[in-house]
Amino acid sequence: MTANATRVLVLNSGSSSLKYQLLDMAQTRRLAVGLVERIGEETSRLVHTPLATGGERRVHEGPMADHDAALKALAAELAADGLGLDSPQLAAIGHRVVHGGLKFTAPTVIDEAVLKEIERLVPVAPLHNPANITGIRTAQALRPDLPQIAVFDTAFHTTMPEHAARYAIDVATADAHRIRRYGFHGTSHAYVSRRTAQLLGKDPSEVNVIVLHLGNGASASAVAGGRCVDTSMGLTPLEGLVMGTRSGDIDPAVTFHLRRVAGMSTDEIDELLNKRSGLVGLCGDNDMREIRRRIDEGDEAAALAFDIYVHRLKKYLGAYTAVLGRVDAVAFTAGVGENAAPVRAAAMAGLEGLGMAVDADRNAVRSNEPRLISPEGSPVAVAVVPTDEELEIAQQTYALVTA
Ligand SMILES: Nc1ncnc2c1ncn2[C@@H]1O[C@H](COP(=O)(O)OP(=O)(O)O)[C@@H](O)[C@H]1O
Ligand SMILES: CC(=O)OP(=O)(O)O
Ligand SMILES: [Mg+2]
């Protein structure tokens, strides 16, 4: 690595999207950011913003078959800005990897053995790990000489105590198949809980925070003094909160019933619970903006979907208050948490008994900065803290390659 290799490319591959950022770590500056959406569909779309050159945002529409095609397309965009992947200034590529099992508790240099382990975990992250693997393989082919670093969603949760991580099922079966709560979105929960402590002017070790990461996938975590003590996602990213297309918590016997009585196959049930449930299953839309618009027009299915979503949030707020004993702050983050003021207001409504409340004027403020939305003097600080998984991944990646 040359001395002026201070850039990191971060790839955050979702099931059908690929978010990316190129950063210069010498000044912690974003050079380019972008997103490829609807990968695998006819209507794929790439939005690229070249911040370094101050150029216009560029949008390309047209089919992109897979993450390999998406990565090649974004590489071409970067090259057009003179920021190509062939640059000697590129120090490493950092990859978000969703499932790392118990093995990976820290950022890891990717080699064949690491890739094999990520592959082994595909059955427990079927929407995510395959996309992560394609991203890694394509990036390796484009720059075989460069360190590729995996930053795992599961890593932050590996501090959970056994009584939170274990399911109450037969121990021998659980151990034989490594069935336990792993938790996901850990990079976001770690970043946001730290930023929340900062917002309060405290050290992370001094505060207990409930983080609500509400994106398309959604999860809650209880963070005590900077360490995760419980989280809502489990063996897979299906458990917990109501999500865009995933059910979150259900009675596991629902799946037996769907097999025995409804005659569905295991794959059909998997698809139902992961892709046709949650908000989309309840009302046909998974985008909170659209749901709010429909509620304003008097749509009952949208209103019920919203109420179910919020009810689940309240349950986790209550549960994690009990788990933590003392809550200093609740932090809302990700697409819904950062932007949907009505979700925040509804989730907090009636929780005065837990010391939680939202000030309507503060809640209505739109900003990209971390901010308090609870009333002055509230026992629990309620905050909106924008997540930045890409920055966190870039920092962890750069720290590893410059260590
Ligand atoms: N202005 C907004 N108001 C309400 N909800 C929003 C807004 N912007 C985004 N969202 C919600 O955020 C979701 C995407 O969140 P995001 O964190 O980007 O998800 P992911 O990383 O899982 O793709 C959208 O599906 C939508 O429901
Ligand atoms: C783990 C997970 O659910 O991730 P995402 O929200 O990106 O789908
Ligand atoms: Mg996300």
Residue range 36-58, pLDDT digits in tens: 998 988 999 999 999 998 889 99
Crossing angle (nearest 10°) for helices 389-402 and 186-199: 100
Q: Which CATH number fits domain 7-152: 3.40.30.10, 3.40.190.10, 1.10.3080.10, 3.30.420.40?
A: 3.30.420.40
Q: Are 373 and 359 a contacting pair, CB within 8 Å?
A: yes
Residues for the chain: how many in total? 403
How far is residue 370's CA from residue 198's CA, in Å, rounded to a whole number?
10
Closest ligand 2 atom to residue 185 Cα is: 1
DSSP class per residue in 204-252: GGG-EEEEEEESSSEEEEEEETTEEEEES--SSTTSSS--SS---S--T
Q: Ligand 2 in contact with 217 (CB < 6 A)?
A: yes
Tell me: domain 202-389, CATH 3.40.50.720, correct?
no
How far is residue 130's CA from residue 135's CA, in Å, rounded to a whole number?
9
Longest dimension (CA), the chain: 64
The pLDDT, as a whole number, for residue 2 is 67
| Residue 191 CB partners (closer than 8 Å, separation 6+) | 387, 388, 389, 391, 392
CA angle at 213 for the pair 42 and 104, rounded to the nearest 5°: 85
The pLDDT, as a whole number, for residue 4 is 86
Pairing of strands 7-13, 90-97: parallel
CA of 216 relative to ligand 3 center, distance in Å? 7
The protein residue with its alpha carbon nearest to ligand 1, atom 22, reads 216
**Which residues, chain by chain, have CB under 5 Å from ion ligand 3?**
215
How far is residue 192's CA from residue 117's CA, in Å, rounded to a whole number?
28
The pLDDT, as a whole number, for residue 323 is 98
The protein residue with its alpha carbon nearest to ligand 2, atom 5, reads 217
CA of 12 relative to ligand 3 center, distance in Å? 8
The pLDDT, as a whole number, for residue 307 is 98
Active site (annotated) includes residue 270: no
Q: Are 17 and 39 a contacting pair, CB within 8 Å?
A: yes
The pLDDT, as a whole number, for residue 1 is 61
* pLDDT tens figures, 166-185: 999 999 999 999 999 999 99
- Does 280 belong to an annotated binding site? no
Q: Are 61 and 45 a contacting pair, CB within 8 Å?
A: yes
Q: Are 101 and 121 a contacting pair, CB within 8 Å?
A: yes
Best CA proximity match to 194, nearest among 388, 399, 29: 388
φ/ψ of 114, rounded to 5, equals -65, -45
Q: Which of 24, 81, 153, 230 is catalytic?
A: 153
Same fold across 7-152 and 202-389 = yes
Domain locations along the chain: 7-152, 202-389
Query: Which ligand is in closest contact with the Cα of 98?
Result: 2
- Does 234 belong to an annotated binding site? no
The protein residue with its alpha carbon nearest to ligand 2, atom 3, reads 217
CA distances in angstroms from 150 to 92, 105, 137, 360, listed in the order given:
11, 11, 12, 41
Q: Ligand 2 in contact with 98 (CB < 6 A)?
A: yes
Question: What 3-state DSSP class applies to 367?
Answer: coil
Best CA proximity match to 276, nearest among 309, 246, 308: 246
Q: Are 236 and 249 a contacting pair, CB within 8 Å?
A: no
Q: Ligand 2 in contact with 237 (CB < 6 A)?
A: yes
Q: How much helix, strand and coil, in percent to the nearest 5, is found in the chain?
A: 40, 20, 40
Best CA proximity match to 247, nearest among 196, 281, 293, 203: 281
Q: Are 384 and 371 a contacting pair, CB within 8 Å?
A: yes
- Does 129 belong to an annotated binding site? no
ipTM: 0.98
CA of 340 relative to ligand 1 center, distance in Å? 9
The pLDDT, as a whole number, for residue 53 is 87
pLDDT in tens, the chain (403 residues): 667 899 999 999 887 889 999 999 999 999 999 999 989 889 999 999 999 988 899 999 999 999 999 999 999 999 999 999 999 999 999 999 999 999 999 999 999 999 999 999 999 999 899 999 999 999 999 999 999 999 999 999 999 999 999 999 999 999 999 999 999 999 999 999 999 999 999 999 999 999 999 999 999 999 999 999 999 999 999 999 999 999 999 999 999 999 999 999 999 999 999 999 999 999 999 999 999 999 999 999 999 999 999 999 999 999 999 999 999 999 999 999 999 999 999 999 999 999 999 999 999 999 999 999 999 999 999 999 999 999 999 999 999 999 9
Edge-to-edge order in the sheet of strand 218-224: 227-231, 218-224, 208-214, 329-333, 381-384, 371-372
CA of 307 relative to ligand 2 center, distance in Å? 22
How far is residue 184's CA from residue 103's CA, in Å, rounded to a whole number?
14
How far is residue 53's CA from residue 226's CA, in Å, rounded to a whole number?
38
**Model pTM?**
0.96
| Residue 145 CB partners (closer than 8 Å, separation 6+) | none
Give the chain's end-to-end CA distance (angstroms, integer): 12
The pLDDT, as a whole number, for residue 328 is 98
Ligand 1 site: residues with CB under 6 angstroms? 14, 17, 215-217, 244, 286-289, 334-336, 339-340
Which amino acid appears at position 160 of this protein? M
